[in-house]
Chains A and B, each alone.
Chain A
Amino acid sequence: MNTPAVAFVGALVLVGIGLVGTLTCRNLIKVAVALQIMMKGVLIALVAAGAAQGQINLGQSLAAIVLGVDTIGAVILLALSVQVRRRFGTLDVSALSQLRR
């Protein structure tokens, strides 16, 4: 098994761990951590795809775009978490979903 194939397996594991965290965590900041883990797996998968096809710079350029979008998403989610905590006094996702009633 060559290096890009191993990188794909590792990227899949990281995406899976992030998916588990997104499904099982109830804290908004913990959900943001899980999303960050998923995006790290996506970055590794993009670069590994470029390396497997012999076009590492193309993979890097795609991964750079994804990294910027991911960072903006994390910043907005953290700002939302701060504001939710201020207004409702909790970061529990289930408590937030009950506020619609």
Chain B
Amino acid sequence: MNLEVTVFILLLVGASLCALMAISAPQLLTSALWLAAASVLSALVLYALSAPTMAILELSVGAGLVTILFVFAIQYEQSDTPASPPLIPRLIGWGLPLAALILTGALILPLPTPEQPAVEVGTFATLLWGSRALDALIQVGLIFAGTLGVLGILSSRKQVSMVTDTADTAQPDRAPLPAPPVLEPTLEGQEPL
């Protein structure tokens, strides 16, 4: 086992430990920070797999943007509460995924080696905007739909509160009615001034 594979295994073990800490941390903010650490180590793994573009994307989006969103959501709602016990028994919760992983690993490992070395059909940009143009187009539509969905979700409370305010306390924005004229008492038979 050479040095490259050893470093690679260490990176994967570190990413797995960070992921384990992320799901077992009692505080949500700590969990988000462990997730960011797992993202950084995943980016290093991708770089070691000779995929520098995906490593940069994972580092900027996975470790940067998503972490900021998680921290913002946790701080916005002040929902940093201790975790509650799981719904299903821990034995089943750990046993079922472990059995599935062992079966999957037995199916795909050892990896089949290609009979003849494959030739790259294009660069990353050519493949993304050429061969996967439909996927990229659908993803652009998905981004717009997701943005509109998030705006709709977050603005629904404002609409409800506006309706409530209008029903409860809102007053029409108009000038008050003029006061009725006050007539001074006059003596009988005398014209008012």
Interfacial residues, chain A to chain B (CB-CB below 8 A):
1-10, 12-21, 23-27, 29-30, 32-34, 36-37, 40, 43-44, 47-48, 50-65, 67-69, 71-72, 74-76, 78-83, 85-87, 91-94
A83–B119 Cα gap in the complex (Å)?
A: 49
> Known: A21-B23, A27-B83, A60-B51. Is A44-B42 also a contact (CB below 8 A)?
yes
Interface majority SS on B: helix, strand, loop or mixed? helix
A22–B142 Cα gap in the complex (Å)?
A: 24
Residues of B within 8 Å of A25, CB to CB, are 23, 83, 86
Chain A: CB-nearest residue to B82:
A27
Contact of A79 among B32, B39, B150 (CB under 8 A): B150
> Known: A3-B49, A33-B70, A51-B49. Is A65-B83 also a contact (CB below 8 A)?
no
Chain B: CB-nearest residue to A17:
B19
Q: Are B127 and A83 in contact (CB under 8 A)?
A: no
A15–B124 Cα gap in the complex (Å)?
A: 26
Q: Are A54 and B8 in contact (CB under 8 A)?
A: no
Q: B120 in the interface, Cβ–Cβ < 8 Å?
A: yes
A10–B44 Cα gap in the complex (Å)?
A: 13
Residues of A within 8 Å of B65, CB to CB, are 71
Q: Are B127 and A58 in contact (CB under 8 A)?
A: yes
Q: Are B76 and A82 in contact (CB under 8 A)?
A: yes
Contact of B28 among A17, A19, A27, A44 (CB under 8 A): A27
Q: Are B12 and A87 in contact (CB under 8 A)?
A: no
